[in-house]
Structure 1
Amino acid sequence: MLDYLRTRTVYLAEPVIYTGPIPNNVASTKIDQNYHYGRDTDVFGTAFNTRRLADALEAIGDIDRAGLYISYRLYWSLGSLKPLPTGFSVASETKAAIGLQLGDDVTRLVPLIATSSTEVRLHLVRFLAAFLRGLRAQKVSGVSLAHLRDVIHAFDLAEFASLLDPLQPFEGSWLRWLNEPEDRYLYKQLSDGDSYLVFHEGEAQESALQLYRLRLGDDVLTIEKAYVPRVRRPGYFRPASYDFYSRPIDTYSTILFFDRPLQADDNAEHLYEYFINNHPEYKKVYFALNPKSEDWDRLLAKNFKLVPIFTPEFYEKFLISDLVVSSQIYNIRYKGKSFANSRFVYLQHGVQLNDMTDWVLSKYFDIFVATGQIEADYLSKFAPVETLNSGLPRMESLARADHTDQHLLFLPTWRFNLHQSSTEHFTQSSYFRSIDAILSDASLLNFLERTGRTLHVKLHPNVEKRASHFRFSDRVVKSELSYREAISSAEMVFTDYSSAVIDAAFIGTPIAYYQWDSVDFFNDQPYEGRLDFRKDGLGPVFQEHSEMVNHIVNEHYTQLDDQYAHRRARFFKGVDPARINSTIIERMLSL
């Protein structure tokens, strides 16, 4: 960029940015705080004059590149710039999810040049939140606590702390503490003891629920979690708003279940079906789904009480519900109600095979369902009250289903860094090429043809729109089966890193891992590895294409291996296959 700017002055338009579809009439877009907060923090917008940019870089040399846009505007007092009547859409909030990783030489986020510009201040609060999110992962920064407080006070960022709460509540509490330190900050209301975040400047006493120990310059910051009885909550006896826990769950309660908006057949569907069949006394139990989903008619035929998801009817049901149960966590807020102040049971979609601590701590839940003792022990380190070691509802359905070996199954997962890739970039990625090479391997195709087998491939939902680029054939097919059907009828299942194979291992189906990019896989993911697949995986691990193919064509997967049987028993310890649903229901009705 600097080379390009060296001989010219370049004016970069500041476009309107959306996180969803672009409206038909972009020019009529209302510019408000929520819109501005949705912008990225990187280099774009305003007018970059070559000489002025050089002056700014020289004056603010300890600022990270990610803050260059904001710093330039501050340095040259470009407080407000009206966006142009055009726009583009982004598919995901990458920096909000993984945060910023600043260089070791960075000691300031931005220069402290006061501005009254709402636009710049909203950029700043987003930038600060991304820094704090990244710091939770990085653990060390050259930026001091004093500088963070100076930024918050100089630009009066505490005014915008509430904008962080929907997607970055942890950072919202952190910002409030930096602005005005208090003993603790209410994070999530619970039935008995509410969950609080506690910040300690300097070395703190060892705590069983210490979440983070961070170093910022010469400062040490410890963040802990505490459970406090609800009666000690400020304003408990004279609440300023309705207490969504005040009404107990009973047979008159409204209870709302859902999986993905366009796809059911996950843990919420399986638990819902068990619940309505075994607890008919509950009359107001609903399942939310998009009417355009292929599952809509199927669930109607099973007597599900369906409500169109994310519609006015859905939000009204949410408002009056005493309990929400889902395999997904969505930012649902309506008329003062959210998962921060109401009951929510998180059934999970996957399994916590990786270190998802930072992600989990950014979410609200009353119950977090675990799939065995290993996962429960991990979750209990930072959510001991909320963790329930019951197993997943869909696993009970699998255990009850008839198993007929009909095909092999490949379940590749997704790569976070491909979210906004063009089709050309996607087809040139090692992800696409490695998967496609398996699907079109000549020796594998010959084996399938010779033995009358078929390889089913369940692509990740993020890949579905590009499925046509893969080389499917008569023997290698893009599976249209549900996950439950595909797994229950599989002779063998393999993946790269997907936790979906855990379901297959639960019912004793052989599994394997093909990890062609194990060296750098976690570099671009919003989490770190937690389990060693070679030491703790429930099947063999292969890094080379030829190894994976040989394992299949030589039918090595049919040979029983005691070490994997032992690992399975240890992984699923504490889970009764016949009582998964009843265990969850007993706990959730007691909230």
Structure 2
Amino acid sequence: MRGNWVRLLSDFIFGFIKLALVLLISKLYLLIKNKDIWLVCERPDESRDNGYHFFRHIKLHHPEVRIYYVISPESADYAKTAQLGPVVHWGSFKHYLYWCLAKCVVSAHPGDCSPEPRLGWRLKGMGLIRHISANIKHGVIAINLPDYHTQTGSQQLNLVSCASPREMQFLEEVGGYRQETLQLLGLCRFDALHETVDTRRQVLFMPTWRRWFRGLVEKHGRQEAMRMFRDSDYFQAYSTFLNSKRLHAVLERTGYDLIFYPHHGVQEYLEAFGETHSRITIADRHHYDVQQLLKESAVLISDFSSVSFDFAYMGKPMVYLLPDEERYFSDHFQRGYFDFDHDGFGPVARDPDAAVDALEAILIRGRSSEKHQQRVEAFFPLRDSANCERTFQAIQKIVDG
């Protein structure tokens, strides 16, 4: 235990020294060459979310902006991002330097693209870092994410993009965000949802992660972690659904395939699900793109994931499967303004059999119910392909002062 504290303290001190040195160098650099630098990022190893779509829009429509994408060179998304424009390697000296130099930082996740997230907000709070911070988010926020609000630096942000007035109100009241930073702009990745893609006879099953799976391999080793995962309510419910003979019969009878693509935080346990049926594919994130799957799929099955909002935005039907709802809202995140039974965009099932029933009804009907369609229309006042441009103009207005 003492060794862990020593290591954490030494990492903290070393990170602080690195940032302090880079900060000093960057100030000297600015005296020589003062240019406005914009940084954009998502997770260190990804470029496929709102950050990517914002970066792509800027490079295509506003080439005058000196913008860089921060990403690991080991990322599967590195090549496609580098083809669009200049990239900065995550954790490199250039990353430290440009983060300190930046005029504007645009992030889809908490951390402000900082190479040292634990220190970044502290330096910004002390006034040593003065760049504009815009959070364009990882998805629509409908439930309470206390850790997210803290890690995002809600009081230090200059802009937060929102997709719904209800989301804006909730973030102000519960998240501690300043009213003037919350703007109804839509999410950047929504633009691509308007691109014409042939819809396949395909069901996408995409549940989100669970906090209690985090770090199991590091704490207990691979074998024990896999055993603990298989014993979880999450695995038991979703494995039962995937192996349901009734589900297999529905897929065969209707001619649909099913793609199971769990959240990034669950992907390391994919092998636990094994083979299920010839019409079911267990998909890993290195070979499948989330947005492409959303666009080409006819029906979505999800749980608490924000991808359900993307799917609803396209006007396509879905089913919620919530087998561990009580634990999720006690041990993972907290309930928010969105009640799945009263606000949801599709039928709610709390066990695998009910989910099969709901899915079969949708496949037969071929569309969402009138009630669920009306909920979608009420939730999204902006449904166009101008989300990236609105976001850019809002940030540029702040940059121009």
TM over 0.5: yes
Q: What amino acid is aligned across from residue 493 of structure 1 in structure 2?
A: L
Deviations 1:269-300 (A, max 9, x none): 00111111111122x21111111111112223
Q: How does 1:303-322 map to 2 (within 5 A)?
A: 303-322=84-103
**1:458 corresponds to 2:261:** yes
The alignment partner of 1:438 has SS state of helix
**1:279 corresponds to 2:62:** yes
Tell me how far 1:338 sits from its aligned partner.
4.5
Tell me, in whole angstroms, the C-alpha distance in 1 between the residues paired with 2:8 and 2:301.
48
Contact 1:514 1:548 in 2 (8 A): yes
**1:572 corresponds to 2:380:** yes
Q: How does 1:411-426 map to 2 (within 5 A)?
A: 411-421=206-216, 422-426=225-229
Tell me how far 1:378 sits from its aligned partner.
1.6
Tell me, in whole angstroms, the C-alpha distance in 1 between the residues paired with 2:121 and 2:319.
47
More helix by share: 2
Tell me how far 1:342 sits from its aligned partner.
2.7
Tell me, in whole angstroms, the C-alpha distance in 2 between the residues paired with 1:330 and 1:409.
30
Q: Normalized against structure 1, the TM-score is what?
A: 0.56
Deviations 1:150-186 (A, max 9, x none): xxxxxxxxxxxx9xxxxxxxxxxxxxxxxxxxxxxxx
Tell me, in whole angstroms, the C-alpha distance in 2 between the residues paired with 1:34 and 1:488.
43
Q: What amino acid is aligned across from residue 353 of structure 2 in structure 1?
A: S
Contact 1:374 1:570 in 2 (8 A): no
The alignment partner of 2:152 has SS state of coil
The alignment partner of 1:493 has SS state of strand
Contact 2:349 2:358 in 1 (8 A): no
Q: What amino acid is aligned across from residue 162 of structure 2 in structure 1?
A: A
Q: Normalized against structure 2, the TM-score is what?
A: 0.81
Contact 2:136 2:187 in 1 (8 A): yes
Work out which of the residue numbers 428, 434, 452 in structure 1 matches 2:237. Answer: 434
Q: Which has the higher contact order (CA 8 A, sep 6+)?
A: 2
Tell me, in whole angstroms, the C-alpha distance in 1 between the residues paired with 2:121 and 2:236.
48
Contact 2:208 2:305 in 1 (8 A): yes
The alignment partner of 1:307 has SS state of strand
Contact 2:42 2:49 in 1 (8 A): yes
Work out which of the residue numbers 256, 259, 263 in structure 1 matches 2:39. Answer: 256
Tell me how far 1:449 sits from its aligned partner.
2.9
Q: What amino acid is aligned across from residue 372 of structure 1 in structure 2?
A: S
Tell me how far 1:420 sits from its aligned partner.
3.6
Contact 1:286 1:307 in 2 (8 A): yes
Tell me, in whole angstroms, the C-alpha distance in 1 between the residues paired with 2:311 and 2:120.
42
Contact 2:316 2:368 in 1 (8 A): no
Tell me, in whole angstroms, the C-alpha distance in 2 between the residues paired with 1:279 and 1:430.
48
Tell me, in whole angstroms, the C-alpha distance in 1 between the residues paired with 2:192 and 2:108.
15
Q: Which residue of 2 aligns with 1:166?
A: none
More deviation, 413-422/306-315: 413-422
Tell me, in whole angstroms, the C-alpha distance in 2 between the residues paired with 1:272 and 1:559.
34
Deviations 1:464-483 (A, max 9, x none): 11101103343111233211
Tell me how far 1:256 sits from its aligned partner.
0.7
Tell me, in whole angstroms, the C-alpha distance in 1 between the residues paired with 2:294 and 2:373.
18
Tell me how far 1:518 sits from its aligned partner.
2.2
Q: How does 1:78-227 map to 2 (within 5 A)?
A: none
Q: What amino acid is aligned across from residue 107 of structure 2 in structure 1?
A: S
Tell me how far 1:34 sits from its aligned partner.
6.2
Q: Which residue of 1 aligns with 2:345?
A: 538
Structure-2 change in CA distance of 1:335 and 1:536 (3 Å): closer
**1:377 corresponds to 2:169:** yes
Q: What amino acid is aligned across from residue 394 of structure 2 in structure 1?
A: R
**1:482 corresponds to 2:289:** yes
Deviations 1:408-450 (A, max 9, x none): 0011111112224422111111111111111111121222234
Contact 1:413 1:497 in 2 (8 A): yes
Contact 2:162 2:187 in 1 (8 A): yes
Q: What amino acid is aligned across from residue 93 of structure 2 in structure 1?
A: P
Q: How does 1:225-374 map to 2 (within 5 A)?
A: 252-282=35-65, 284-301=66-83, 303-330=84-111, 332=114, 333=116, 338-340=123-125, 341-356=130-145, 359-361=148-150, 363-364=152-153, 365-374=157-166
The alignment partner of 1:589 has SS state of helix
Q: How does 1:3-22 map to 2 (within 5 A)?
A: 14-17=1-4
Tell me, in whole angstroms, the C-alpha distance in 2 between the residues paired with 1:336 and 1:489.
39
Deviations 1:52-77 (A, max 9, x none): xxxxxxxxxxxxxxxxxxxxxxxxxx
Tell me how far 1:451 sits from its aligned partner.
3.3
Tell me, in whole angstroms, the C-alpha distance in 1 between the residues paired with 2:7 and 2:265.
30
Q: Which residue of 1 aligns with 2:197?
A: 402
Tell me how far 1:496 sits from its aligned partner.
1.3
Structure-2 change in CA distance of 1:30 and 1:357 (3 Å): closer
The alignment partner of 2:385 has SS state of coil
Q: Which residue of 1 aligns with 2:249?
A: 446
Gaps of 5+ in 1: 1-13, 19-28, 37-161, 163-240
The alignment partner of 2:160 has SS state of strand
Tell me, in whole angstroms, the C-alpha distance in 2 between the residues paired with 1:367 and 1:520.
33
Deviations 1:127-171 (A, max 9, x none): xxxxxxxxxxxxxxxxxxxxxxxxxxxxxxxxxxx9xxxxxxxxx
The alignment partner of 1:324 has SS state of strand
Q: How does 1:21-100 map to 2 (within 5 A)?
A: 32=9
Which protein shows a greater Rg? 1
Corresponding pairs, count = 357
* Cα RMSD after superposing both structures: 2.8
Structure-2 change in CA distance of 1:429 and 1:373 (3 Å): same
Structure-2 change in CA distance of 1:541 and 1:526 (3 Å): closer
Tell me, in whole angstroms, the C-alpha distance in 1 between the residues paired with 2:160 and 2:120.
25
Q: What amino acid is aligned across from residue 373 of structure 2 in structure 1?
A: A
Contact 1:439 1:471 in 2 (8 A): no
Structure-2 change in CA distance of 1:338 and 1:538 (3 Å): farther
Contact 1:307 1:313 in 2 (8 A): yes
Structure-2 change in CA distance of 1:335 and 1:346 (3 Å): closer
Structure-2 change in CA distance of 1:335 and 1:462 (3 Å): closer
Q: What amino acid is aligned across from residue 227 of structure 2 in structure 1?
A: E
Tell me, in whole angstroms, the C-alpha distance in 1 between the residues paired with 2:133 and 2:121.
15
% identical equivalent positions: 21
The alignment partner of 1:292 has SS state of coil
Tell me how far 1:32 sits from its aligned partner.
4.3
Tell me how far 1:557 sits from its aligned partner.
5.8
Q: How does 1:504-515 map to 2 (within 5 A)?
A: 504-515=311-322
Tell me how far 1:522 sits from its aligned partner.
0.9
Contact 1:551 1:557 in 2 (8 A): no
Gaps of 5+ in 2: 17-23, 217-224
